[in-house]
Homo-oligomer: A and B are copies of this chain.
Amino acid sequence: MRWLFLLLLLVAAPAQAERRKVIIDDEGFALMHLMHLMLLEDPDIDVIGITTVSGNAWANRATAMVLKGLEIAHRTDVPVVQGATFPLLNSEALTDRWEALYGKLTWKGAWMKAWVEPTQQSTPPYFGPTDPVDLPGGNAKIKPSDEIAANFLIRMVHKYPGEVTILAAGPLTNLALAQRLDPAFAGLAKELVYMGGSLNPHRVLSDRSAADFAREYGNTPRREFNARFDPEAASIVSRSPWRKIIIVPVDPSTATQRSKALLARMAKVTIPDIAKFIKEMEPGFPLWDEIAAGVWLDPSIVTDRETVFVDYNTQFGPGYGDMLSWRASYQPGVGEQAAEVVRAVAPAKLEALMVRVMAAGAKRDAALSRAAAAP
């Protein structure tokens, strides 16, 4: 029976060539991003690049943070490609006018100067789109690629047709540009997984942070920051011919939280350089992007999903950027695609997965070190 065991082992063990390819398209927010780490640390995943975009922070700042994060994680092998600085039509000036007509937004990302109400979470410092970046603790030594994100995205799906998952966790500007640059783009990707949109989230957790974040959806169940920052891009991407779309809207996030306990569990199993940063992370945020990575790494964490046709409202009015969705036979049929929308996940399973991949990454690194040290 020993041969059978060995054969099974051979089939089950993912060879280097079989690792699932993913490009992370994201706008960052801090030096280290748990979602990025989940994908970088999982030995079965091949992060073939990280593209940046403006959203929570301007693109140049997002790029600097990703570069620094990769240095800390010892993953300077991953190319970083900077993307769009500005949304297609939306802007900071238009957002000011919009708020005067339709009410204050809770979160405005790079355009955020202050919370409307006292808020538990810190307010990130405000910068202009071309302000020089000087990260606390110094910028990374590595540099981004000379390419532009949209071009990189197009090049990769042509190089690996049908193999590349695009995991987008910021505004969809880069993907919309790529699709209009090359109409074959979406169809050549394996799939699109994105964190964005909102169906009708309900508050699940009872602490102060959860209450604060509930302000974002309590009176606007269809509004979510990534889509609202660049509604036109979200609509273009929603009407593009992807082979498969998986959407993680706000809904499943209300049952999750980046708790001190979770951060401690992750810090305990990862390498010391990463652990140092994880320990210092601000707790209280829902797990948004981490759910998207988690759902892609292990679909069994999903407890409720639904297939609907999706688009976004691009009218400059009260519903600007709102998610639009239709059951089959109600959709208008103007290009909007069917998407699998994750309505709920099992938070404990997600947390266990997050800890598991961090441990797996540390184990891989140790093995690589041993291999490098071998005579």
Contact = CB atoms under 8 A, between A and B. Distances in A.
A147 B199 CA distance: 45
A252 B365 CA distance: 54
Interface string A101-126: 11110100000000011000000000
Contacts of A322: 318-319
Nearest to A323: B219
A308 to B, nearest CB: 6
Interface stretch (A3-11, A133-141, A267-275, A327-335): A327-335
A317 interface: yes
B101 A326 contact: no
Contacts of A103: 324, 326, 330-332
A21 interface: no
Contacts of A325: 219
Interface in A121-155: none
A300 interface: no
A319 B313 contact: yes
A315 B99 CA distance: 16
A116 B329 contact: yes
B117 A332 contact: no
Contact of A200 (B100, B200, B326): B200
A153 B319 CA distance: 33
A161 interface: no
Q: Which of A116, A218, A308, A334 has the most CB of B within 10 A?
A: A218
Contacts of A43: none
Contacts of A332: 99-103
Contacts of A215: 327
Given A101-B334, A219-B308, A332-B100, A318 B327 contact: no
B329 A219 contact: no
Given A200-B202, A319-B322, A332-B102, A219 B327 contact: yes
A260 to B, nearest CB: 28
A222 interface: yes
A333 to B, nearest CB: 9
Interface in A298-344: 308, 311, 313, 315, 317-319, 322, 324-327, 329-332, 334
A347 interface: no
A241 interface: no
A101 B336 CA distance: 11
A163 to B, nearest CB: 33
Nearest to A312: B318
